[in-house]
Amino acid sequence: HILAHCETHLAKFKLPRYIAYVDDFPRTPTRKIAKQQMLAEIEDLTVGAFDQKDGVWR
Quick: pLDDT tens for 1-58. Answer: 888 999 999 999 999 888 878 889 999 999 999 999 888 877 676 777 788 778 888 7
Query: At residue 7, what are phi and psi to the nearest 5 degrees?
Result: -65, -30
Question: What domain count does the chain have?
Answer: 1
Residue 12 CB neighbour total at 10 angstroms: 7
Q: Is the pTM of this model over 0.75?
A: no
Range of the domain at 31: 2-57
